[in-house]
Structure 1
Amino acid sequence: MERVMLDVDLAMGAPGSDVDDGFALALALADPDISLELVTTVNGNTDVASATTLTLELLHRLGHPEVPVHRGAQLPLLRPQAKFGSVPDDVVAREPQATPAAAAMVEHVRANPGEITLVAVGPLTNVALAMRLDHTFAASLKRLVIMGGVFSKPTNETRMPGEFNIWNDPEAAEIVLGSGIVAQWVGLDVTLKVRVTMAEARAMAASDHEFAAFAGRYTVAWIEHLSSRRPEQADSCAMHDPLAVAAVTHPELITWQDAYVQVETGDRLRGAMIADPLTGGWAPDGKTQKLQPNASIAVDVDAAGFTRFFMDKLKEL
């Protein structure tokens, strides 16, 4: 059994918002090999207050109101921007736990050294703060799985050179990369290959199953939102965050490669990541040096295998 903390910027349940983080939370609860012990929230897909309210609401919908939720950072470490979202009027505003997210992370890992896997599917602000609060935090984790980054190609977008989670708080990503833990990074190189189609979303929306119907409605709305921005991508949406959760108990679905990764924190290429696969030892000063990996990056995925696992588990909720 994998004991898991899940750090989310959850927006499922708000009209026109991304839904993959909600599916990630659902999958963490549905997987019998995961014990979800703690959920923390962070600014990202929506503001942290909305993410917290929507996370508590979804846990109640899924029949797990006992899972503690801790509200985290409302802003990136150094950047003033924050995304603001909304919560439907009929959603109950429940109170999270009193301890801030980063402190709760540190306390839980201190109490259970070497036993907790942290899965971070939003910007890495909370994770970086935990590492700054306690210099032993990273080393005391069992594993760190991150949904973030893109390593084999650029985004080709000047407004967002890096993948969103990393672009949102590149300084936090830099702290994580320098922490000493070799995290598993599940980036756009693989997450864009695992998708829910409009037909599948409509089938979920028509289901008699309460969560499937709820999630299906919001997935249809999200695909329609994507279609309004990019008509060529009108038929599906990517399941970025659930793939990171699946990697906890089924790492064989993903092909991994050790790498030395650096992140750009300047404005021009903010959030872009450079991944050295460690096939050579050349350094800019002309000398050779042996670099040690600071990341394990996902380079390929068994998309069909993931889809089977994902859909089967959701049916069991």
Structure 2
Amino acid sequence: MERVVLDVDLAMGAPGSDIDDGFALALALADPGIALELVTTVNGNTDADTATALTLELLHRLGRPDVPVVRGATRPLVRPQARQGSLPEDVPVREPREGVAAEAMVEIVRAHPGEITLVAVGPLTNVALAMRLDPGFAGALKSLVIMGGVFEGQTNNAAMPGEFNIWCDPEAAAVVLDSGIAAKWVGLDVTLQVRVERAQALEMAASDRQFTAFAGEYTAAWIDHIAEIDEPGITSCAMHDPLAVAAVTRPDLLTWRDAHVAVSQADLTRGVMVCDFRCTGSGPDGTPRPARPNASVAVAVDVAGFNNHFLKNLEAIA
């Protein structure tokens, strides 16, 4: 059984907001190989307060209000930008556990060294703060799985050259990459390949199962939002965050390559990952390449295998 802390910028349940983080939370609860021990929230898809309220609401919908939730960072480490969201009027504001996310992460890892897998599916602000708070934090983790980055391609978006989570807080990503732990990075190279079609979402919305109907309604709305705002004609959305959760118990669904990765913190290339898979020899000018990989990067995915794993586990949720 994998003991997991899940760090989220959850927005499922807010109109016009991304939904894959909600599915990630559901999968972490449904997978019999995962014991979800703590959920922390961070500013990203929405603001930290809204993410916290929506996380607590979703845990109630999923019948697991016992899972502790701790509010995290409200803005990136350095950059002043902070996302602002809106909480639907019908969502009650429940109080999370006392404390702040970084401290809660440090406490649980100190109490169980070598046993906790941290899965981060939002900006890495909380994770970086935990690493700064306790220099031994990274080394005491069993594993760190991150949904973030694009390694063999690019976003083709000048306004957001890096993948969203990394673009939001590249300084935090740099702290993680320099921490000494070789995290498993699940980026757009693979997550864009695992998708839910609008027709599937509408079928889910018509279900008599509470969570399925709820998730289907908001998934269809999210696909419509993408089609209207970003990608006209698109009929599906990616399951970025659930793929990272799946990697905890089913790393075999992904093909991994060790690499030395750095992140750009410059404005023009903010969040771009510079990925060196060779880690040996020298560059064209004779400069030695880094000899030590600091990341394990997912470069291919078994789409059918993930879909089977995802759907099989979600069937256990009412």
Q: TM-score, normalised by structure 2?
A: 0.98
Q: What corresponds to 2:227 in structure 1?
A: 227
SS at the partner of 2:37? Answer: strand
Alignment root-mean-square deviation, CA = 1.1
State the Cα distance separating 1:287 from its structure 2 match. Answer: 4.2
Per the alignment, residue 211 of structure 1 pairs with 211
Could you say which residue in structure 1 is the equivalent of 2:24? 24
- Aligned-pair identity in percent equals 67
Q: Is the 8 A contact 1:226 1:233 kept in 2?
A: no
Instruction: Give yes or no for the alignment of 1:116 onto 2:78.
Output: no
Q: Does the CA-based 8 Å contact 1:5-1:37 persist in structure 2?
A: yes
Deviation at residue 288 of structure 1 after TM alignment: 3.7
Aligned to 1:243: 243
The CA deviation at 1:297 is 0.3
Matches of 2:59 and 2:85, distance apart in 1: 19
CA distance in 1 between counterparts of 2:29 and 2:212 reads: 14
Q: Does 1:103 align with 2:103?
A: yes
Instruction: Tell me the amino acid that sits aligned with residue 139 of structure 2.
Output: A
Q: Which residue of structure 2 lines up, in the alignment, with residue 299 of structure 1?
A: 299
Please state whether the residue corresponding to 1:16 is helix, strand or coil: coil
| Pairing of 1:154-169 with structure 2 (within 5 A) | 154-169=154-169
Q: Deviations over 1:163-213 (max 9, x none)?
A: 000000000000000000000000000000000000110010000100000
Q: Which residue number in structure 2 is paired with residue 266 of structure 1? A: 266
How many equivalent pairs are there? 317
Residue 46 of structure 2: aligned partner: 46
- Spell out structure 1 runs of 4+ moving beyond 3 A: 230-233, 287-290
**Who is 1:189 aligned against?**
189
SS in 1 for 2:154: coil
Q: Report the counterpart of residue 82 of structure 2 in structure 1.
A: 82
Provide the C-alpha distance between the structure 2 equivalents of 1:150 and 1:83, rounded to a whole number of angstroms: 22
1:59-105 alpha-carbon deviations (Å, 9 max, x no partner) = 00000000000000000000111111111111110000111000000
* Structure 1 position 315, deviation (Å): 1.1
CA change 1:279–1:294 in 2 (3 A) is closer
Distance, in Å, in 2 between the alignment partners of 1:21 and 1:117 is: 17
1: CA distance, partners of 2:233 / 2:191: 15
Contact 2:2 2:35 in 1 (8 A): yes
Contact 1:187 1:298 in 2 (8 A): yes
- Unaligned residue ranges in structure 2 (runs of 5+): none
Structure 1, unaligned runs of 5 or more: none
Amino acid of the structure 1 residue aligned with 2:80: P
Residues in 2 aligned to 1:33 and 1:314: alpha-carbon distance in whole angstroms? 13
Structure 2 residue identity aligned to 1:248: V
- The 1:233/1:182 distance shift into structure 2, 3 A limit, reads farther
Q: Contact between 2:260 and 2:279, CA under 8 Å: does it hold in 1?
A: no
Q: Distance in 2 between matches of 1:284 and 1:44?
A: 38
Give the secondary-structure state (helix, strand or coil) at the position aligned to 2:266: coil
TM-score, normalization by structure 1: 0.98
What SS class does the counterpart of residue 199 from structure 2 fall into? helix
Residue 202 of structure 2 corresponds to 202
Aligned-partner Cα distance in 2 for 1:284–1:27? 45
1:230, distance to aligned residue in structure 2 (A)? 3.5
Deviations 1:125-161 (A, max 9, x none): 0000000000000000000000000000111111000
